[in-house]
Amino acid sequence: MAGTGTAHLRDGDEVLLRVEGLTVEFPAPGGNKVKAVSGISFDIKKGETLGLVGESGCGKSTTGKAIIQLPPPTGGSVQLNGDELTDLHGDELRRRRTDIQMIFQDPISSLNPRRKIGKVVSEPLDVWGPDSKEEKQAITDKFLEAVGIDPDVARDKRPHEFSGGQCQRISIARALVLDPSLLICDEPVSALDVSVQAQILNLLGDLKVEYNLTLVFIAHDLAVVKNISDRVAVMYLGKMCEIAESNEMYSNPAHPYTALLLGSVPEPDPNTDLDLEIVEEGDLPSPINPPSGCRFRTRCPRADEQCAAEEPQMVEIASDHFVACHHPLIDPQPAEVSLAND
Amino acid sequence: MVKAVDGVDLSVDRGRTIGIVGESGSGKTVLARTIMRLNLGVNVHTEGSVRYAGVDLLDVPKKQMRDYWGAEIAMVFQDPMTSLNPVVRIGRQVTEHLRHHLGLSKEEAKETALALLKEVRIPEAEARLNAFPHQLSGGMRQRVCIAIAIACGPRLLFADEPTTALDVTVQHQIMNVLAREQNERDMGMVLVTHDLGVVAGRTDDIAVMYAGKIVERASTKSLFADVKHPYTEALLRSIPRTSHASHTRLAAIVGRPPDLINPPSGCSFSPRCAYAQDICFTEEPVLEEASPNHEFACHFPVGTEPNREAFEKNVAKGMPQAVSIRRHEESLAELGGHV
């Protein structure tokens, strides 16, 4: 994996968000740096859903936060509708940021337990919304209804009176009141039961259409990501491995890491052949001192000297299917070969 | 009174694995903890019997339960971060009950602990004995918990959501470790989880719980091949699958699990069921046999003519739970199954 390169970026007016060479580093003891995200690039078209998958610690949440400049990335560019967010500061940044909203993993702790729901959902409007109280309440009620919460019942209750699924609906309503164009969902369903998870995923799909939303959907569950995403990007240790249209990615994974992830998904079918081999669990490579070349090579069955020496670049292996690997699982498309011959 | 577990019958044979499946609040964890006598005694009313190798555990004085915990029956918990003591080195946490139950000397216990860590495939096991829990990854901590649980050779192992807090790749590995230990040591194992995907390939039998009761119980093969209870079917359908096309409409189960203080009359799943008819709201179904070793409690079991009729009636009435399933089916047909 471990790839860099921008071959997979698209041009055109429909691109809403363009992230290029995004790098996020945090200081670590001993003058070291935790390289949480190391030069990843991707873009999202208007109305598209991009799924970001990877194991814990691969930098997917950090990427989501870097998009809204919380904290601002160490390097790279984040463009929303052509505006460079990393150049904005203070009031300008805060105003521009209303266009991007976020939903978090734990629905209960992301709502203030001492506040009433009406207040929680209308707070963004107090800062950026209309002045009149009636208008604010009308907007709040409209979005609570849109997420399936009865505003008359909920308005004066507090978060502990709701279940996890309902709290997540309330968080979604809060994220929508300022009419954002980009919604970043950071593991929004991983704390929920399967039955409730399905409700929230269906709801997000409906809201996306109704309010012209563009989604970044961060999750570790590959089946969930496939269900909601148009395009999926796989991350490993701060780098991008593979990006493709979701059906294509899941039927033809090209990166050995994607294949490993897909092979680990438990399918609810007793007749699937399980790979029962037990692998010794080594320490994951540290993001303070990541492996040279391809960062996945220490766990990769296909790794060789080239992988240690050279970092793979993103190449188009099939139509709209990009992978950063020296030894991908599928052969590059013939079109590339003929180009090379020319 | 909250009836968390209500009239459950279960049996686990040596060398068999049974899965207990249900949503949060279905009573699966309370059941496991009651069997192990881990519930706090205050204000808990327990009826029935738990026979372990001929002894009724509910009659055993609490102090004597210590002879069973770890030595006879052991448990692996959901959260490997909090089930290990953060200020005690791994080595001592593994040797602690080796010394208590088996009366091993310090050196013997240490050697056994080392062998156990190697058995669950922890690399550099010797160095790990001196490590604190926070120095290990989540998956490695869960391996340590498994090593502790199997240390004294229990005959029955409870695993309560052992992989819920872990990444998929790690989950797969932990389940493999559990399966091998269970097989090699010929233990009985009870796997408690909310994820039907996890139990599918890894259990001999499955019991599905809803609102404190078992609503369907069958051998794993038979359960997946011939689902009878609408709740089991609904759980299976609500799981997103990698084999379905992207943007397939999910068949969500509407509503929430019932309030166990005032459970609904009739079948407790009726308010959320896509097939519910008048009788379901008044008469509680009892467990009946579909085939040998397959029981379910439902008036309109899945796959029968009355069930199909009930579904069409409910769709026509616009019942949200029935409509949700219809939309799922239409979306599957439109987008195609395997891509």
Tens digits of pLDDT across chain B (339 residues): 888 888 899 999 999 999 999 988 888 988 998 999 888 667 888 889 999 999 999 999 888 998 999 999 999 988 888 889 999 999 999 999 899 999 999 999 999 999 999 989 888 899 999 999 999 888 899 999 999 999 999 999 999 999 887 888 888 889 999 999 999 999 999 999 988 988 998 999 999 999 999 999 999 999 999 999 999 999 999 999 998 999 999 998 988 888 888 888 999 999 999 999 999 999 999 999 988 889 999 999 999 999 999 999 999 999 999 999 999 999 999 887 554
Q: Is B195 on the interface with A (CB under 8 A)?
A: yes
Confidence of residue A25 (pLDDT cuts 50, 70, 90): very high
Interface test with B, best of A53, A195, A232, A300 (most B CBs within 10 A): A195
Q: Which residue of A has its CA nearest to B140?
A: A281
Q: Which residue of A has its CA nearest to B250?
A: A198
All residues of chain B having their beta carbon less than 8 Å from the beta carbon of residue A252 are: none
Beta strands in chain A (DSSP E): 15-28, 32-45, 49-53, 75-80, 83-84, 100-103, 182-186, 214-219, 231-236, 239-245, 315-318, 321-323
Percentage of residues in chain A having pLDDT higher than 90: 71
Confidence of residue A139 (pLDDT cuts 50, 70, 90): very high
CA distance A43 to B276: 47
Interface test with A, best of B121, B124, B171, B242 (most A CBs within 10 A): B242
Contact between residue B251 and residue B238 where contact means Cβ atoms under 8 Å apart: yes
Q: What is the 3-state secondary structure (H, E, C) of B40-77?
A: CCCCCCCCCCCEECCEEHHHCCHHHHHHCECCCEEEEC
H/E segment holding residue B205: strand B205-210
> What SS3 state is found at A146?
helix
Roughly what angle, to the nearest 10 degrees, separates helices B230-238 and A194-210?
Answer: 50
The pLDDT, as a whole number, for residue A253 is: 95
Candidates A112, A101, A110; CA nearest to A177 is A101
Smallest CA–CA distance, residue B39 to chain A, in Å, is: 24
Structure tokens at B196: 């039907």
Q: Is B262 on the interface with A (CB under 8 A)?
A: no
Q: Is the peptide bond before A71 cis (omega within 30 degrees of 0)?
A: yes
Beta bridge partners of A313: A4
Tens of pLDDT, residue by residue over B13-48, are 999 999 999 988 888 988 998 999 888 667 888 889
Task: Tell me which amino acid residue A65 is.
Answer: K
Confidence of residue A20 (pLDDT cuts 50, 70, 90): very high
CA distance B110 to B89: 12
In this predicted structure, the answer to whether residue A340 has a pLDDT above a threshold of 50 is no
Tens of pLDDT, residue by residue over A176-202, are 999 999 999 999 998 888 888 999 999
Q: Which residue of A has its CA nearest to B171?
A: A264
Tens of pLDDT, residue by residue over A82-103, are 899 999 999 999 999 999 999 9
The pLDDT, as a whole number, for residue B25 is: 84
Tally Cβ neighbours within 10 Å of residue B29: 21
Structure tokens at A239: 């780098």
CA distance A250 to A260: 12
Task: Tell me which amino acid residue B160 is.
Answer: D
Interface test with A, best of B28, B169, B173, B224 (most A CBs within 10 A): B169
Lowest mean pLDDT among A177-181, A210-214, A273-277, B286-290: A273-277
All residues of chain A having their beta carbon less than 8 Å from the beta carbon of residue B173 are: 278-279, 281
* Residue whose token pair is 């738990």: B50
Task: Tell me which amino acid residue A319 is.
Answer: S
Candidates B193, B272, B278, B285; CA nearest to B233 is B272
- Is A7 inside any structural domain? no
Contact between residue A180 and residue A97 where contact means Cβ atoms under 8 Å apart: no
Whether A247 and B246 lie within 8 Å, measured CB to CB: yes
Question: CA A83 → CA A87, A97, A271, B303, distances in Å?
Answer: 9, 11, 52, 57
- CATH number of the domain that residue A191 is part of: 3.40.50.300
Beta bridge partners of A231: A50, A245
Q: How many domains does chain A have?
A: 1
Q: Which residue has the higher pLDDT, A336 or B337?
A: B337
Residues 6+ apart with CB under 8 A from A255: A1, A234, A241, A242, A296, A323, A324, A325, A328, A329
Residues 6+ apart with CB under 8 A from B76: B142, B145, B146, B149, B157, B158, B159, B160, B162, B178
Whether B167 and A55 lie within 8 Å, measured CB to CB: yes
Tens of pLDDT, residue by residue over A293-321, are 999 999 888 999 999 999 999 999 998 99
Phi then psi for A182, rounded to 5 degrees?
-125, 130
Nearest to A226 among B121, B235, B240 (CB): B240
Tens of pLDDT, residue by residue over A37-46, are 999 999 999 9
Smallest CA–CA distance, residue A56 to chain B, in Å, is: 7
Q: Is B194 on the interface with A (CB under 8 A)?
A: yes
In this predicted structure, the answer to whether residue A234 has a pLDDT above a threshold of 80 is yes
Contact between residue A54 and residue A235 where contact means Cβ atoms under 8 Å apart: yes
Q: What is the 3-state secondary structure (H, E, C) of A232-253?
A: EEEEECCEEEEEEEHHHHHHCC
Upper half-sphere CA count for residue A194 (Cβ side, 13 Å):
26
Q: Is B248 on the interface with A (CB under 8 A)?
A: yes
Phi then psi for A207, rounded to 5 degrees?
-65, -35
The pLDDT, as a whole number, for residue A198 is: 93
Smallest CA–CA distance, residue A54 to chain B, in Å, is: 9
Whether A270 and B200 lie within 8 Å, measured CB to CB: yes
Tally Cβ neighbours within 10 Å of residue B306: 12
Whether A264 and B137 lie within 8 Å, measured CB to CB: no
Whether A278 and B173 lie within 8 Å, measured CB to CB: yes
All residues of chain B having their beta carbon less than 8 Å from the beta carbon of residue A226 are: 240, 242, 244, 246
Percentage of residues in chain A having pLDDT higher than 70: 94
Question: In this structure, which CATH number among 2.20.25.160, 2.115.10.20, 3.40.50.300, 1.10.10.60 belongs to the domain B17-203?
Answer: 3.40.50.300
Contact between residue B141 and residue B68 where contact means Cβ atoms under 8 Å apart: no
Phi then psi for B329, rounded to 5 degrees?
-65, -40
Whether A264 and B169 lie within 8 Å, measured CB to CB: yes
Question: Domain span at residue A256?
Answer: 15-99+180-266+275-341
Residues of chain B with CATH 3.40.50.300: 17-203
Average pLDDT, chain B: 91
Q: How many residues does chain B have?
A: 339
CA dihedral (A65, A68, A70, A74) positive or negative: positive
All residues of chain A having their beta carbon less than 8 Å from the beta carbon of residue B246 are: 226-230, 246-247, 250
Nearest to B121 among A228, A230, A280 (CB): A280
All residues of chain B having their beta carbon less than 8 Å from the beta carbon of residue A227 are: 240, 244, 246-248, 250
Interface test with A, best of B166, B191, B250 (most A CBs within 10 A): B250
The pLDDT, as a whole number, for residue B235 is: 92
In this predicted structure, the answer to whether residue A218 has a pLDDT above a threshold of 80 is yes
* Residue whose token pair is 């729901």: A117
Tally Cβ neighbours within 10 Å of residue A150: 10
Candidates A278, A182, A10; CA nearest to B173 is A278
Tens of pLDDT, residue by residue over A112-138, are 999 999 999 999 999 998 889 999 999
Nearest to B246 among A226, A263, A276 (CB): A226
All residues of chain A having their beta carbon less than 8 Å from the beta carbon of residue B248 are: 227
Candidates A230, A253, A115, A111; CA nearest to A171 is A111
